Amino acid sequence: MEAKITLLPGDGIGPEIVAETRKLLEVVAAKYNHNFNFNEQLFGGIAIDETGTPLPDDTLAACLHSDAVLMGAVGGPKWDDPRAKVRPEQGLLGLRKALGAFANLRPVKVFDALADASPLRPEKVRGVDIMFVRELTGGIYFGTPQGRLDGDNGREGFNTMRYNEMEIRRIVEIAFDLATKRKKKVTSVDKANVLVTSRVWREVAQEVADEHPDIEYEVILVDAMAMHLINRPADFDVVVTGNLFGDILSDEASMITGSLGMLPSAALGVPGSIGLYEPIHGSAPDIAGKGIANPLATMLSAAMMLRSSLNLDTEAAAIETAVSNVLNAGHRTADLARVGETAVGTKEMGAFVTMALENIQTV
Ligand code: IPM
Ligand code: MG
């Protein structure tokens, strides 16, 4: 098949991990006879430096004219001044909105070989397989009014958390659809004891749940969920929640797998829209340019892209198997290595996965 893939390396470790993933995708294309046309575009802080805006028109146009978008990471101390007028993160929020990518799928799956790399005890994490479904284009990230003013008590900043029925229903429906193909359980996370937004969320979510009597359904308050994720992560299947809670809980959940450097994600809209694929970790400015970042979350995001946007199930599974084989063989980047284990760099890890992929038997 022919596919146009826009690559947005972005900032920090973004360019390093996207470069390795591109090489991997080139090998996938050669092995399975596809033609992937890559188009690299400026995005995030580097785009601010070069064009004054984090999401230049050319970048957005390239994304809108592609079959899928694969991103590295955005942001860093250089653009972190709280009074800055433009911020790299605005580019990411703008892109998610422009693609209509309201559903953020963040799978938290423990590779057997990494059960010991988690800060939690191996018996707690073995077999964990959670699908986080984070609402991505609403909630407090986008609600208006938002802004800052100089009031009677000095500087004041404000954001608004709001969700309407349509936004809640469509994301909760996605969670139930996913659960049907998985372990048939949905957990909705909110803060309904305090927030009006959450009370509406809970009402609508219950209505969707009533339409799916075959799926086990529960609601958990976000503070309690933070605890249950650590205490009994294997009890969850599909977890659906709003934008802010999903942002926080998915970072927390990543540690179950051993490292934030392992978690991929897919941001999807209505069927047929262009998907945005990104590792859930950030730009890691502290290790940028050192060649030690873990490329696996980006590679696993590329697998999600092949599966969801290009319908290439075999190829997606091949990437996942290659990653798993490399971990089983004992290769670890610095974030995964335990005391006494040698760590390989970004390029070495990339090469191991590429080699493992080449070695997978095709039928
Ligand atoms: C994420 C990130 C982003 C978010 C930032 C970089 C805007 O933390 O994808 O989880 O908050 O959504
Ligand atoms: Mg985040």
Domain boundaries, the chain: 1-102+271-363, 119-257
d(CA 216, CA 306): 30
Q: How deeply is 185 buried, as exposed, middle or buried, from its count of CB atoms within 10 A (0-12, 13-18, 19+)?
A: middle
Question: For ligand 1, is residue 139 a contact (CB within 6 Å)?
Answer: no
The pLDDT of residue 282: 94
Its pTM stands at: 0.96
User: Which fold would CATH assign to domain 119-257?
Assistant: Isopropylmalate Dehydrogenase (3.40.718)
User: Which fold would CATH assign to domain 1-102+271-363?
Assistant: Isopropylmalate Dehydrogenase (3.40.718)
CA of 252 to the centre of ligand 2 (A): 10
Question: For ligand 1, is residue 247 a contact (CB within 6 Å)?
Answer: yes
Catalytic residue positions, numbered: 141, 191, 223, 247, 251
d(CA 344, CA 336): 10
Angle at 182 between CA 179 and CA 186, to 5 degrees: 30
Give the CB-side neighbour count of residue 316, counting CA atoms within 13 A.
14
Residue whose CB lies within 8 A of the most ligand 1 atoms, among 247, 276, 298, for a mutation test: 247
Atom of ligand 1 nearest to the CA of 278: 9
Same topology, domains 1-102+271-363 and 119-257? Answer is yes
CA of 243 to the centre of ligand 1 (A): 9
Question: For ligand 1, is residue 167 a contact (CB within 6 Å)?
Answer: no
Question: Residue 316 to residues 103, 129, 305, 320: CA-CA distances in angstroms?
Answer: 20, 18, 8, 6
Q: Quick check: 161 and 196 in contact, CB under 8 A?
A: no
Give every residue of the chain whose pLDDT is below 50, as ranges: none
Question: For ligand 1, is residue 280 a contact (CB within 6 Å)?
Answer: yes
The pLDDT of residue 116: 86
CA of 101 to the centre of ligand 1 (A): 13
If you ran DSSP here, which 8-state letter would residue 79 be given? G
